[in-house]
Amino acid sequence: MIAAFVGGLIFLGDGRVLEKGTVVVEGERILRVGKGKTAIPKGAKTIPLDGRSLLPGFIDTHVHICLDASPDPVSTLAAEPAPITVLKAARSARETLMAGVTTIRDMGGKDGIDLHLRDAINRGLTPGPRMLVSRNLVCMTGGHGWPFGREADGPDEVRKAVREQVRAGADLVKLMATGGVLTPGVEPGAAQFTEEELRAGIEEAHKAGRKTATHAMGREGILNALRAGIDSVEHGVFLDDEAISLLKKRHVPVIPTLSALYNIIEKGTEGGIPAYAVEKTEAVKPHHLRSVRMAREAGVVIAMGTDAGTPFNRHGENLREAMLLVEMAGYRPEEALHAATGLAARVLGREKDLGTVEEGKLADLVVMDGNPLEDMGLLLKPEAIALVMQGGRVVKGNLDNL
Q: Which residues bind Zn ion (CB under 5 A)?
A: 107, 307
In angstroms, the CA 1 to CA 3 distance is 6
CB of 309 to Zn ion, least distance (A): 8
Closer to Zn ion by Cβ: residue 214 or 356: 214
Closer to Zn ion by Cβ: residue 89 or 367: 89
Three-state SS for 200-239 is HHHHHHHHCCCEEEEEECCHHHHHHHHHHCCCEEEECCCC
Contacts of 391 (CB under 8 A, 6+ apart): 28, 362, 363, 364
CB of 170 to Zn ion, least distance (A): 15
Closer to Zn ion by Cβ: residue 105 or 361: 105
CB of 64 to Zn ion, least distance (A): 6
CB of 259 to Zn ion, least distance (A): 11
CB of 226 to Zn ion, least distance (A): 19
Instruction: Report the 10 Å Cβ neighbour count for 2.
Output: 16
Beta bridge partners of 385: 368
Closer to Zn ion by Cβ: residue 22 or 310: 310
Closer to Zn ion by Cβ: residue 65 or 161: 65
Closer to Zn ion by Cβ: residue 21 or 108: 108
Closer to Zn ion by Cβ: residue 60 or 307: 307
CB of 365 to Zn ion, least distance (A): 28
Closer to Zn ion by Cβ: residue 197 or 307: 307
Contacts of 139 (CB under 8 A, 6+ apart): 145, 146, 149, 150, 151, 152, 175, 176, 192, 193
CB of 297 to Zn ion, least distance (A): 25
Query: Strand 52-56 relative to strand 365-369: parallel, antiparallel, unpaired?
Result: antiparallel
Contacts of 398 (CB under 8 A, 6+ apart): 387
Q: Using alpha carbons, list the distances in angstroms from residue 23 to 35, 98, 365.
A: 9, 21, 10
CB of 310 to Zn ion, least distance (A): 7
For helices 155-168 and 195-207, what crossing angle results, to 10°? 30
